[in-house]
C-alpha cells in the first residue's frame, strides 16, 4: 500500500466545480458532462480521481464512467469509477473508501473479476492500493495503474509516463497548514503551523499524537487525521528535503582566521614569534603562562602557515618560538603545494 496521494494537487483541485442549488446543500462536479453529486468527502475524492484519470493518466472523458453497474449474482452493485477500453471492456475499476482495509481489498478484487478489469485501484484520503489481475483470479500489488498512450489505446507504465511520483508531502502540508520545516541542529527542528513556530526534538516527530499535543499546548489544534505510517513517511520526506543547518565556526577555526590575518600583516623584518607574542598581539590574551592547549593550538596554526619551530637568543636569554622562513611560504606550508585550494 502506498502512503502517498495522487490526486490532491492544486491543478486538479482548481478544476472542481461546486454549486449550491439549495441553501446548505453543496454539489461537486469534475466534468461538465457528468451529473453533479453531493459534496461529501468521499465524493470529492472520487471527482478528483476522475480528473486525475483525465489529466494525469490521459484517458478521454468518454472512457470514464461513474456508478458503473456490476452484477454480483442476483445483486446489482455499482463501482465508483471505471475506465473502459476502446472496445467497451472495463480496463480499470476504482473504489473510493474512507479507509482501505481487508474488506475494501476483497470488494475491489470481486469487482475486477466480474467486470474483467486488468487493474483495480482502492483510494482513500491519504493512501491508495493498486492491484493487477494475473492468470485469472490471481492479484498482485503494483505501483500504479497504466497511463493511456498517445495513440489513445496503448497502455504504458504509469510511473514512467507521468515522469514523477507524488508524495504525501503536498497533501499533509496543505491539511496541516504547514508553512515551514527547518532543521535547527542535529537533534531539533522548527515547525511553523498555522502561523505558530515551535521547536521540537526530532525524536518527538516520530509520533503524530505527540506533535498534536505539543501544538495544542501552544494553542494550535491539528484536526487532520493522519495514520502513523503516512505520518512517518511525511516526516522522512521533510527531513530529506530540509537543508542541514550551517554549523557555527569552531574555536579552532576562529583562532586560525585571527592568527592568520595577523601573521600576514606582519612587517617582513619580523621573522621570529613566540606563542606569547601571538597570544598577546593577535588574540589580546596573556603573553605568559599560556595553557598547554592554547600553546598547541598556536603551534599548529603557525606550522600550517609555514613557520618552523626554532630558538632565538635575545639579550642572553634563549626563547623558544617559530621562524618564518619564507613568511608563510616554507616547504611545509600547504599553500606552497596546493595554492588557493587550501
Whether pLDDT at 4 is above 80: no
Chain centroid, CA 37 distance in Å: 35
How many CB atoms are located within 10 Å of the residue 341 CB? 7
Return mean pLDDT, the chain. Answer: 81
pLDDT tens for 285-305 read 888 888 888 998 899 899 888
Helix and strand totals (H; E) in the chain: 11, 17
Phi-psi region of 289 (alpha: psi -120 to 50; beta: other; left: phi over 0): left
pLDDT given at position 316 = 86
What confidence tier does 204 reach under pLDDT thresholds 50, 70, 90?
confident
* Burial class (CB within 10 angstroms; exposed 0-12, middle 13-18, buried 19+) of 325: middle
For residue 159, the model assigns a pLDDT of 37
Average pLDDT (66-73) is: 89
pLDDT in tens, 72-110: 888 899 999 999 987 888 999 999 988 888 898 999 999
pLDDT at 20 over 80: yes
Confidence at 128, pLDDT banded by 50, 70, 90: confident
The domains located in the chain, with CATH, are 10-166 (3.90.1570.30), 169-241 (no CATH), 251-341 (1.10.10)
* pLDDT at site 223: 67
Confidence of residue 170 (pLDDT cuts 50, 70, 90): low
pLDDT at 253: 82
Structure pTM? 0.46
pLDDT tens by residue, 22-52: 888 999 988 887 889 998 888 888 998 899 8
Which stretches does DSSP call E strand in the chain? 17-22, 25-29, 37-38, 64-72, 75-84, 90-96, 119-123, 128-134, 138-142, 147-148, 155-156, 178-183, 188-193, 196-201, 272-273, 308-314, 317-323
Whether 135 has a pLDDT exceeding 80, the answer reads: no
Amino acid at each position: 500500500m502506498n502512503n502517498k496521494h495522487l490526486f490532491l494537487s492544486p491543478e486538479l483541485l482548481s478544476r472542481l466545480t461546486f454549486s449550491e442549488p439549495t441553501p446548505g446543500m453543496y454539489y461537486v462536479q469534475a466534468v461538465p458532462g457528468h451529473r453533479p453529486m453531493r459534496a461529501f468527502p468521499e465524493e470529492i475524492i472520487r471527482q478528483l480521481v476522475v480528473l486525475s484519470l483525465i489529466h494525469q493518466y490521459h484517458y478521454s472523458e468518454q472512457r470514464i464512467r461513474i456508478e458503473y453497474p456490476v452484477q454480483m449474482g442476483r445483486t446489482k452493485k455499482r463501482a465508483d469509477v471505471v475506465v473502459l477500453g476502446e472496445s467497451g471492456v472495463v480496463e480499470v475499476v476504482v473504489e473510493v473508501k474512507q479507509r482501505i482495509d481487508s474488506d475494501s481489498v476483497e470488494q475491489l478484487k470481486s469487482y475486477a473479476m466480474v467486470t474483467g478489469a486488468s487493474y483495480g485501484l482502492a483510494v482513500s484520503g491519504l493512501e491508495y492500493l493498486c492491484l493487477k489481475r494475473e492468470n485469472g483470479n490471481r492479484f498482485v500489488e503494483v505501483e500504479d495503474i497504466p497511463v493511456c498512450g498517445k495513440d489513445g489505446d496503448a497502455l504504458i507504465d504509469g510511473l514512467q509516463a507521468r515522469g514523477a511520483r507524488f508524495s504525501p508531502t503536498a497533501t499533509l502540508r496543505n491539511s496541516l497548514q504547514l508553512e515551514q520545516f527547518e532543521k535547527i541542529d542535529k537533534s531539533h527542528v522548527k515547525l511553523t503551523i498555522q502561523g505558530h513556530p515551535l521547536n521540537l526534538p526530532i525524536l518527538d516527530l516520530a509520533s503524530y499524537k505527540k506533535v498534536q499535543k505539543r501544538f495544542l499546548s501552544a494553542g494550535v489544534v491539528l484536526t487532520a487525521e493522519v495514520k502513523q505510517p503516512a505520518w512517518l513517511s511525511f516526516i522522512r520526506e521533510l527531513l530529506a528535503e530540509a537543508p542541514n543547518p550551517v554549523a557555527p565556526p569552531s574555536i579552532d577555526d576562529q583562532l586560525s582566521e585571527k592568527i592568520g590575518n595577523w601573521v600576514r600583516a606582519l612587517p617582513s623584518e619580523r621573522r621570529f614569534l613566540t606563542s606569547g607574542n601571538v597570544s598577546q598581539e593577535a588574540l589580546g590574551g596573556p603573553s605568559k603562562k599560556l595553557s598547554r592547549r592554547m600553546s598547541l593550538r598556536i603551534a599548529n596554526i603557525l606550522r600550517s602557515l609555514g613557520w618552523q619551530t626554532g630558538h632565538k637568543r635575545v639579550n642572553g636569554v634563549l626563547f623558544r618560538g617559530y621562524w618564518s622562513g619564507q613568511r608563510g611560504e616554507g616547504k611545509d606550508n600547504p599553500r606552497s603545494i596546493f595554492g588557493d585550494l587550501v
